[in-house]
Amino acid sequence: MKKISPRPTSRKNLALAAAAALTMLPVLAHPHVADARAGGGYSMGSRGSRTYSAPAPSQTAPYGATPFQQTMTPRQMPGYGARAPFGAGAGMAMARPRHPFMNGFMGGLVGAGLFGMLFGHGMFGPGMGGSGFLGLLIQLALIFFIVRWAIRRFGGMGGNAGAAAPPGNPLGGMAGAGVPPQGQAQPVGVAITAADYQAFQQALINIQTAWSQQDVRAMQHMATPEMVSYFNNQLSALASRGARNVVSDIRFERGDLVESWRENGFDYATVAMRYSMIDITTDMTGRVIEGDPSNRTTVTELWTFVRSAGTGSWLLSAIQQTPR
């Protein structure tokens, strides 16, 4: 009797294992894309003097929010009556504060430039990108002169008592540090109207829509420079992996005011919002690599908005996740 070789079975098993490994490649190559919506499932941004204070619990978010993983607000040095921060690294207290406007400005500029380069448009999009090494030199020279002008224009704002924008100007990059100095008025409550709540809900939809369309310019009219720089970085990271996140059919389900206050001539409002959406990530050909187009994803986040005291439009200044 002729003995049957086990080789065909081994080859079959090997082929099945290889196929299974190939199906896992999108997951391995794109970690964390399950939270790929605007904000990426991280806590980021600034809440003025309350950046390092835990938001109050609410009905929508009874367990509060997670500490900031990314913020440009320097931690208050000890000895000035600061409330105990939560989740902040010890080394952050010793970090030298940098000019907040330059943080937000340069973050947005570099982020937008890298995003444009990934898509072959040069640092500033169509019409501004040079060709070859000469084009790169021109772009670098433009950046140098812009940065030098910005430093001269805004570098003295922090120490000039008569400057148009106060040291804690959130619209210029969120410079608030720790708590107000001794002798300065403490934050007070701000009345939030029905029109404000409607603005918060609409901002949620508009920002997620602009995110899906990769419309950074639109985001600049909806969020602080700090938040725009984070969005830029996230979009660039997705593009570098050949991926794109698309959020659609956003439905606001529930929300409530967590806290509101006024400081340094600006109003702040932190609201807890629960919403659902279709959240998928595709490759550049449109093939879905993460998420389910048929199932909705529900999340609860705390969004903080800021505006000039009593006037102006609300701008997103922070997104915080709730404990899972």
Token couple for 302: 């705390």
Alpha helices in the chain, H assignment, sequence order:
7-29, 100-118, 132-154, 194-212, 216-219, 225-240
More confident position, 189 or 36: 189
Structure tokens at 47: 């809440």
**What is residue 137's predicted lDDT score, i.e. its pLDDT?**
65
pTM, two decimals, is 0.61
User: Is the Cα dihedral 82, 88, 91, 97 positive or negative?
Assistant: negative
Name the residue among 75, 78, 77 with its Cα closest to residue 86.
Answer: 75
Q: Which CA distances in Å does 172 have to 124, 143, 162?
A: 21, 19, 16
Q: Which domains are delineated in the chain? A: 30-94+176-321 (3.10.450.240)
Q: Using one digit for the tens of pLDDT, what is the confidence trace for 48-91?
A: 999 999 999 999 999 999 999 999 999 875 433 334 333 333 33
Kindly state the average pLDDT of the residues 11-23: 48
Residues constituting the chain: 324
Whether 266 and 48 have beta carbons less than 8 Å apart is answered as yes
pLDDT at 175: 35
| DSSP output for 289-310 | EES-TTS-EEEEEEEEEEEETT
> Any idea of the CA torsion for 114, 117, 122, 125, to the nearest 10 degrees?
-80
Tell me the sheet residues that pair with 321: 301
